[in-house]
Each structure stands twice: as structure tokens, then as C-alpha cells.
Structure 1
Amino acid sequence: MPETPTIEAGKTLIVYFSWSGNTRAVANIIQDLTGCDIVEIEVEEPYSSVYNEVTARARQELDNDIRPALVTRIENIDEYDTLIVGTPIWSSRLAPPVKSFLAKYNLTGKKIAPFCTHGGSGIAQSVNNIRSVCPNSEILQSLAISSSQAENSRSNVERWLRSIDLAE
């Protein structure tokens, strides 16, 4: 008997921003487990590869609610019922490119499943940040993965996906 996919094609989208590659690693695990469409958020003005420069820019963007312009555009966002949204945690908050992405679309009535990678802060304020930008979306249980565990997080990701009914 052939396996029945647990997720309808075209209904769930994984969208994420990754600076160091940790959030990308987790997003790719999610994509591997679900088969969902996946899109990486890209900014018009790329972040420096120098850590101190990135943290200085991030601090300015976060403290002044600056939402960087994005290259990423999803023309068919209405086709998706659920967005799995990935972000690194920067200064205990959602990375500005993710906030830019969420603010760009009308996500009323959509489910948002947040996941993050972090250096010790856990989910921090990121879920509240998402709620403030998407007040009319249903925010599902979140997943926080330590950056040092991103590559080896498959079992945690599987448990999380089952808990939010996106995998068996």
C-alpha cells in the first residue's frame, strides 16, 4: 500500500531567514520530513559576513523597527494555509528580514508555525514579535533549536511536526 502524504501539496510553505546557516539547516530538515515548498528570505542589502558588523546592523534595525527591503517575493501566498517560519534569534527577537516578510503579506486566517535557532535564549520574544505583525493569524506551538544542535535536530523537529499535526 503506497504511503499517503500527511500534507496536501501546495498547502504548507516553509519560509526562513538564515545568516550563519543554522536556521537553513533546520529548515532543510523540515523540508526533508514534510516535502513542503521552501523559500529562503533574501534581503536586498545582504548582511556582512563579519559577525560584529552583523550584530551592529541588527541592533540598529531591531531598536528602530527597521524592516529591511527583501528580494524574496511569494506571488502565490494565498495558496498556502500554513507557513512554517524560521528565524535566528537576534537580541532575543525575530530577525528583521523575517519581520519584513511577515509584514509584507496579509496572513489573516493562516496558521504560522514558528521555529528558531538561538545561542541560548530559546524562543525569547520571537513569538510575540510574530503575533504583533500577524495579529489575525493562528500561531502554533513553536520550536527552539540551539544553534550548536541545528545539524543534529532531526528527532526534535520530527516531534515538533507531529505535535502541530504536520507529520505523522
Structure 2
Amino acid sequence: MSSIVIYFSRSGENYFGGELKNIEKGNTEVIAEYIQELDNADLFKVEPADEYPDDYMKCIDVAKKEQQSDARPEIKETLDSIDAYDTVYIGFPNWWGTLPMPMFTQLEQLDFKGKTVKPFVTHEGSGFGSSQKDLKKLCEGALIKKGLSIPGANVYDSKDAVKSWINE
């Protein structure tokens, strides 16, 4: 059984427990790499063609405008098929209550029929928001399993939680 992690993650200025900090690796990427290690999964990082601003406030402003206009931002590279995989992990930070819009750009192009989808989210207290409803639409035909929700400040202490979730 083979698996892939399709994820979006952002480094740079991020919000942690009430303060802004610069991080070299995005929180979602940390979790994606745990899954790669624990489940021998392939990784596919969804990256916007136009990078988001490093400045956190500017970034969330752009993200909000994209969401309000239901944008599908262009991405650097597109994953054309998930035919080779049984399990698809989908990871993202919660942006304005759901997935960042580049994830919509990517996921809408894939056929999820017969796949098992395991979503995970990093956040600062908002959990999955309404993303699970969006994932049901984006991953039509897939069996969507219970998701894993991890506060960004806890990602480096969450490997055991990730392992338990993978094995559920």
C-alpha cells in the first residue's frame, strides 16, 4: 500500500501563541515529514507561483482576498495523478477557516475515487474550521478518515500523536 502527502506549508513570519516568530520550516511541513518517515510516504508540496509575502499581516491579507474572491492561484508545479496511491494525506494550515486557496487549485485536478484521505491541519486554536466540508467536495469519491489537528506551537512535540493517528 503506497501513500502520498499533498501539503501546503509556509515558513517566514508566523503566529505562535500570541506572538509573531520567524520560522525556517512551516509547521505543516514538519508534520508532512513525520508522515513521510513513519509511513514511507511520498511528499508533494503545493507552492504558489507567486510567493506569499514573508510579512505575516500582509500574507493573511492576501490569503483573505483570495478566499473572498474564490481564487485559484497558479501553482509552481502540478501533481497530475494520484493513481499510484491508496492513501492520500492532505495537510495544510488553517487560513481563514479552511485550506489555503492553492490547495484548491491542486486538489480540484485530482481523481479521488476509491482513495483513502487522511487530512491534517496546523493552527493556532481554530482546528479544522470548515475545511472538512470543503475536503468532502474536493475529494469526491474518497473515504475521508478522521483528521489530525495540531497547534503550530506543538508540531515538534507531536511525532507520537502523528504515529498513533497513522496507525488508527
Provide the residue aligned with 1:35 in structure 2: 40
Question: Shift in Å at residue 75 of structure 1?
Answer: 4.0
126, 130, 139: which one pairs with 2:135? Answer: 130
After superposition, the CA RMSD in angstroms is 1.2
Provide the residue aligned with 1:166 in structure 2: none
Percent pairwise identity = 31
Counterparts of 1:68 and 1:137 in 2: how far apart (Å)?
24
Question: Shift in Å at residue 135 of structure 1?
Answer: 2.4
Task: Note the 1:69-80 alignment, pairs <5 A.
Answer: 69-80=74-85
Q: Tell which deviates more after alignment, 83-92 or 70-79.
A: 70-79
Deviations 1:127-158 (A, max 9, x none): 11111222222111100000000111101101
Gaps (5+ residues) in structure 2? 12-25
Q: What secondary structure does 1:58 align onto?
A: helix
TM-score by length of 2: 0.87
Task: Note the 1:14-163 alignment, pairs <5 A.
Answer: 14-20=5-11, 21-163=26-168
Counterparts of 2:34 and 2:81 in 1: how far apart (Å)?
23
- Supply the AA of the counterpart residue of 1:108: K
Question: Shift in Å at residue 71 of structure 1?
Answer: 1.6
Counterparts of 1:74 and 1:122 in 2: how far apart (Å)?
26
Q: What secondary structure does 2:136 align onto?
A: helix
Deviations 1:19-43 (A, max 9, x none): 1300001111111111111111111
Alignment coverage as a number of residue pairs: 154
Contact 1:93 1:125 (8 Å CA) reproduced: yes
Deviations 1:76-102 (A, max 9, x none): 421112210100001111111112111
Counterparts of 1:89 and 1:71 in 2: how far apart (Å)?
21
TM-score by length of 1: 0.87
Contact 2:28 2:91 (8 Å CA) reproduced: yes
Contact 1:12 1:82 (8 Å CA) reproduced: yes
Counterparts of 2:70 and 2:5 in 1: how far apart (Å)?
24
Contact 1:99 1:130 (8 Å CA) reproduced: no
Deviations 1:3-59 (A, max 9, x none): xxxxx3xx2111110013000011111111111111111111111111111111110
